[in-house]
Structure 1
Amino acid sequence: MYGPDKDTLFPLAHHKKLCFLKNLVNHPGIEVGDYTYYDDLEDVQNFMRNVKYHFDFTGDKLKIGKFCMIASGVSFIMNGANHLTDAISTYPFAIFGNGWEDAMEDKVYPYKGDTVIGNDVWVGHNATITAGIKIGDGAIIATNTTVVNDVEPYSIVGGNPAKLIRYRFPQEKIDELLKLKWWDWDISKITQNLTLLTGNDLTKISSISE
């Protein structure tokens, strides 16, 4: 066998609070890679509720890579939450109409682009990811962190706002891992190399040929 079925919703028998996320989401603006899971203390349907202000008219996407781990309570704040910040008032007058509909004439709300989570990213309990953020492969987002700036690959960040705690590996090893892209291997190859992937011998894992 080569691991669990990536196309099943609940990969753990008799446990309905962890799901393979791509099989749960049904929103055209959300893309999720294989084997990425969401673990919720109450109900996995909470994931969709926690992608907030994701309105069709904003056109932004939430893109999550493969083999990510997303804990309970993680929130994604999308571009629909943005208000004017360089105006005298941040109040969204125009949405209420009744004589206020022209308030945004010749103006646009801030737009920060797609929110992109790389591969093999661990997002801890109750973390918040704001609109347009890019989180690199292999990064770790600590519990209760609020991410307002991009996160580098294989870094660990925490706090509000998020600050760099440390890098997981030396830069030369990070470069090797980013080139290796183990998450794109065939699942049989991943299965055959599980002991290396769960170890810390970077020399051995980096030496594996395609």
Structure 2
Amino acid sequence: MPYPSAQNKHPLPGFPQVCFIQNTVQNPNIIIGDYTYYDDPEDSENFERNVLYHFPFVGDKLIIGKFCAIARGVQFIMNGAAHKMSGFSTYPFEIFGPSWDRVMPQPGDYPYKGDTVVGHDVWIGYEALIMPGVQIGHGAIIGARSVVTKDIPPYAIVGGNPAQVLKMRFPDPVIETLLAIAWWDWPIEKITENLEAIVGADLEALKNVSS
């Protein structure tokens, strides 16, 4: 049974605004899973422009899972945006050269919240903003123009500024089963064969296939 190639930058013929971005991202600290796409009519290949303050000397990573849908204008703020807050001024005097560099902060003075991790099968809506160190669970939906400042549980629908859980997509037992099945980790051939169950929310069928 045929299926799309994850190595195809533009999987929709004649529609370059959709891009499987694992094929275009160059930064080794941005890790993108198979079939995750970015939709942008201006330059869908240049997803990296939306990952802000991602300085190599900080070392934090942006990790996005498989089968994620990322809308135009979604931005990720990374740890390099942080300023030292323990002094009377937050201004970064030290980066501007001679004599001011004597107040260079020590390791650990800057706030650091770790890697930003987006799970599998996550839909991130138009112009959402993801703050540093946030963990977004599998199957979550992030509403348009949401500002995500804290971790999002799997299969939650969130919205607002700051983003709050509006509802859960499924009851807890269903979510636990879906996380255990982890269909996104199946071989693509198996996913292709079972698309009706995946998109049709046929949990019993998925359980039978995975058992």
User: Equivalent residue for 1:18?
Assistant: 18
Is the 2:158–2:165 contact (alpha carbons within 8 Å) kept by the matching residues of 1? yes
Asked whether the 8 Å contact 2:83–2:92 carries over to 1, the reply is yes
SS at match of 2:176: helix
User: Does 1:152 find its partner at 2:153?
Assistant: yes
Question: Contact 2:123–2:139 (CA<8 Å) still a contact in 1?
Answer: yes
Distance 2:105 2:114 in 1: 22
Distance apart, 1:46 and its partner CA? 4.0
Deviations 1:104-144, CA, capped at 9 Å, x for gaps: 34362111111100000000000011111110100000000
1:167-206 map, 5 Å? 167-206=168-207
Query: How big is each residue's C-alpha offset from its partner over 1:154-173, in whole Å with a ceiling of 9 and x where there is no partner?
Result: 10110011001011011111
Unaligned segments of structure 1, at least 5 residues: none
SS at match of 2:102: coil
Q: How many residues align?
A: 210
Distance 1:13 1:105, change over 3 A: closer
Residue 29 (structure 1) aligned with residue 29 (structure 2): yes
Q: Distance in 1 between matches of 2:87 and 2:197?
A: 54
* Secondary structure class of the residue paired with 2:179: helix
The alignment status of 1:121 with 2:122, answered yes or no, reads yes
Gaps of at least 5 residues in structure 2 are none
Quote the offset at 1:203 in angstroms: 2.8
User: Paired residue for 1:166?
Assistant: 167
Residue identity (%)? 53
Amino acid at match of 1:99: S
1:51 aligns with: 51
Structure 1 position 71, deviation (Å) = 0.5
Q: Which amino acid aligns with 1:2?
A: P
CA distance in 2 between counterparts of 1:12 and 1:103 reads 53
TM-score, normalised to structure 1, is 0.96
TM-score by length of 2: 0.95
Looking at structure 2, the residues matched to 80 and 201 of structure 1 have their Cα atoms a distance apart, in angstroms, of 43
1:17-96 paired onto structure 2 within 5 Å: 17-96=17-96
Would you say the 8 A contact 1:2–1:187 is kept in 2? no
8 A Cα contact 1:34 1:67, kept in partner? yes
